[in-house]
Amino acid sequence: MTIFSKIIAGEIPSYKVAEDGSNYAFLDINPIAKGHVLAVPKMETDYLFALDDERLSDLILFSKRVAVAIEKAVPCKRIGVAVVGLEVPHAHIHLIPVHDIYDIDFNRPKLKLTSDEMKEIAGKIADFFV
Ligand code: 5GP
């Protein structure tokens, strides 16, 4: 079971922002920007491009709905999208509010946000998710 499956199952806490029948979205624990979200399919699959067409389309359409909510909740120019997958072997899409290209640099020092700040951001995004 991956760490993300444990999060989805509620065995490990997360700052959830959205969920539907097949996907789950929550704040990245080491955000590179305020409102940095991971969108994850509930079915455990290591590599994003190993998902079958239906599940991949479903995840992307879910990510679009989450991105619209993030844009409303967090001041930014737009939502940058990244797929890395080198750390956690469970497909996921990074959704990152950006003002310029440097905001999507994974080598930047991670933001240190308090639990209250994380809760507040997650709550705002969740409120805008439809
Ligand atoms: P990647 O696999 O795309 O290289 O990176 C995995 C991402 O998942 C990282 O940005 C990391 O901060 C995030 N991450 C790893 N473990 C956890 C966790 O337990 N909870 C949350 N919310 N994020 C995690």
pLDDT tens digits, 26-80: 999 999 999 999 999 999 999 999 999 999 999 999 999 999 999 999 999 999 9
Indicate the average pLDDT of the chain: 97
Residue of 27, 87, 121 to mutate, ligand 1, most atoms within 8 A of C-beta:
87
Domains of the chain: 3-128 (3.30.428.10)
Other residues' Cβ atoms within 10 Å of the Cβ of residue 71: 18
Pairing outcome for strands 93-98 and 78-82:
antiparallel
For ligand 1, atom 19, which residue shows the shortest CA distance?
Answer: 3
66-85 pLDDT tens trace = 999 999 999 999 999 999 99
Q: How far, in Å, is the centroid of ligand 1 from the Cα of 87?
A: 7
Note the pTM of the prediction, 2 decimals: 0.98
Q: How far is the CA of 62 from the centre of ligand 1 (A)?
A: 19
- Indicate which atom in ligand 1 lies nearest the CA of residue 89: 2
Q: How many residues does the chain have?
A: 130
Catalytic residue at 92?
Answer: yes
How many whole angstroms from its chain centre is CA 109? 18
Share of the chain above pLDDT 90, in %: 99
Give me the residue label for tokens 């079958």: 52
